[in-house]
Each structure stands twice: as C-alpha cells, then as structure tokens.
Amino acid sequence: MSIAEETILNRLSHSEGPRRSGPGITARSRFLGIGFGLTALAVSLTGCGLFSSGPTPGVSPGASGVSNPTASTTSSPTAAPVLIKSITLVAALGEPKGATPAGLTWAGIQATAARLDATATIVEPATNADLASAIDKAAGADLAVVVTVGPDAQDAVLAASAAHPKTQFLEMDVAPPDGAPANLHGLVFDQAEAGYLAGYVAAWFSATAGVGFVGDAASDRGTANYAAGFPAGAAQAKPATTVTVGYAGTADAPDKGRTAAAAMIKSGSDIVVALPSLSGIGAMRETCGRKARLVTVGTDAWQVVPDVQPCLIASVVNRYDTAVGTALLVLAAGTPLPQREMNDVSNDGIAVGEFHADLPAGFEAGLAGVMATLRNGPPRATAGPATDAPSAAPGGKSSSPKASGT
C-alpha cells in the first residue's frame, strides 16, 4: 500500500451514524471538485492506474487502439493569441438537451464564445449525409472551430479536418486515430478514474458490503476502463467490500441490463453502478425496482433518467462543458492542444455530482481527501494496454448473467 493510500484510509471513520450532506458537498457547488467558472488552461495527467497496481486502461470510445493518453501543455507567456471567430457544434438531431453530452457541450461553447467574442452556432443534421455536409460547411468559415460529440461523426470529421487544415476540430468522447490531421483533437475522459470514484461512493453507502458494476460488454473499451477503476475505489473506501462485475453483453439492450442488475442484487449487492447506455438505463431501472440503490457514471442520471431519482445516490459526471471550454481557451491563446486531451479530476473534467441521500459519518472528509489526492496527482501505475475482460477485486466475484429478457 502506498503512503497516499494509507493517508486517505487513515482519514476514514465508520463509527458514527449517518447525517445529511453538508455544505462541503452540496451547498457550495453542484459538483464536488469543480471550481467556479471555466479553467483557463488544462493540465492533464498521463495514465489512469489510480491507487492500484493493475493495468492502465486506454481511452474510448473510438480509441482505435489507443492506450496512453497524451498530457496537455500549459500556456506559454509568449504564446501569440489566436482569434476564434466562429464555433459550431454539429450534433445529431435531439441531442443538445439539458444534461446530455451534447447539451453540456453546447452550454460550454456558448459560455466560452461570449468570453472570446466569437459566434456560437448549433447545427442538428437529420441524416449522416447531412452530418458530413454540415461539418464541411462549418469548417469553411474563417478562423473556425468545429465541435462534434461521439464516434458517429468521426469519418466526416477526419475528411473535413484533412480538407480544411486551418480549421480546428474538437471531438468529444473520441480519441483521434494515429495519423489523424494535426488540427483534429479528441477530448476524452478518464473513465478508470470515474469508475474508481463510483466504486468509492458505492462502497461507503453499502449496508451489505456488496457492490456491483453493470457494464455493456467485456470487450468494450469504455466498460473495461470503468470496471478497472471500480474495484480499487471500493477497496479504498472499505477493503472488505465484495465487488461484482457483470455485463449486459451489448450497449443497446435494456432487458439485458436489467438481467445483469437483477443477478447482482440477488447475489447480495445493494448498490449498483451503471453506465448511461440503453443497457445501463435498463440496469438503473431494475435496481430501483428491486429497492436497491444506484450510483451512475458519465451523465447525471438525476436529470437524464428522472424516474430513477428515488434510488439514486449520486452520479460521477463527465464535465463536457468544462472540457470544451478549456480546450477553446487553449486554442484562442495560441497554445498547442494535444490530439488526445485527457480530462479528469485534476483539470475539472470529472466531478462527483450532487448527493441525494444521507451521508455516512466520515464520508465527506474521506471523499474530500480522495478528490484532493486525485487533483494533485495520485500515484499511478505505468501506462499499459486496456484489459479486455476486467475481473473483480481480490475476494470478490464476477458475474456474467445470461439475458432472458425482463
């Protein structure tokens, strides 16, 4: 065990009863670990081994085999400012709503455009052909930045970035492939760190010392990343916690997500962590239906899936608004932006959302200590390839239930 681990574990206390969340968690800010306003420039950490000695997962989705994120550079005092005249978000129809990834990205673009005196535009194409056309059209403007969300637009973005070398392109949740044009940048999130925080929260709130994680598929890189951090976070909170990792087998089958969650709860997990996919939403609803409790990752389930509010403890969220705003400010300052920019707690790219349950005694101080360690740079394992089939923590168990359609 590292000195940092021992320091944090020594700060945890389980001797007092539960209490309502205090100002350190919810009153000062909606998200723990987030400063007010947008950070001027990003400082990213390489690797994502967290407090464990296990493998360091890669970035996803659309990672194309990428396993090692590239750290961003801080601003240089001599960098020449670069004027950005237009910022266009090209998003699929219906995406830019509220707390969705596209909605948060659009909020970040609008806030930053006002600071840069740039024009912010959103385009919602209805078909893939319209998507490619909209991206290419937006890229033709003078001093333009084009932003997309998710891997569906990557082929169109690769073509447009090659055709418009003077335009900057930002892809949210996508790591550009090796050899992509230098003006194309992927803004990704440290999913292993988010999984670690979700495991930490889940273990603290578990009354049975049993927590479960429902992923999409064992071969899915995003699922592997979250699952790699989850057992380490649970062990950091309560070393004796039994960890169950299960899979729906796909991202788009709510019934299979329900089956995976049901198997976990039957085996003794009273807290389930789920992804924001369709399968994950099925797992969320099954968890609530069985009177267990829920922690989510990626987006704020309180807003995105409101029917699970009664059982939701908190969400560990990707701050798409902060990530895109930071990247835009870097570009406007004339500072080089890496092609693969990792967002995590250290640069306000990942945060623990508002709590909707009484906090166990000692939890607030413990979580604050963990967030401080992550912000300052935790001891991390040497970067390595993502694990295709992460296993449960020592002493735990894994489950891969067969879906039967519930």
Distance CA 294, CA 274 (A): 8
Q: What is the CA radius of gyration of the chain?
A: 20
Number of neighbours of residue 388 by Cβ within 10 angstroms: 12
Domain ranges for the chain: 3-60+191-320+346-398, 86-188+321-341
Q: Is the peptide bond before 61 cis (omega within 30 degrees of 0)?
A: yes
Distance CA 120, CA 117 (A): 9
For residue 111, pLDDT beyond 80: yes
| pLDDT tens profile 235-248 | 999 999 999 999 99
For residue 156, pLDDT beyond 90: yes
Distance CA 296, CA 199 (A): 10
> Tell me, which fold does domain 86-188+321-341 have in CATH?
Rossmann fold (3.40.50)
Mean pLDDT of 56-82: 41
> For the packed helices 191-205 and 363-376, what is the interaxial angle rounded to 10 degrees?
170
Distance CA 205, CA 359 (A): 8
Between 75 and 324, where is the model more confident?
324
| CB-CB contact of 8 with 32 (8 Å) | no
N- to C-terminal Cα separation, the chain:
42
> Tell me, which fold does domain 3-60+191-320+346-398 have in CATH?
Rossmann fold (3.40.50)
| pLDDT tens profile 329-381 | 999 999 999 999 999 999 999 999 999 999 999 999 999 999 999 998 754 43
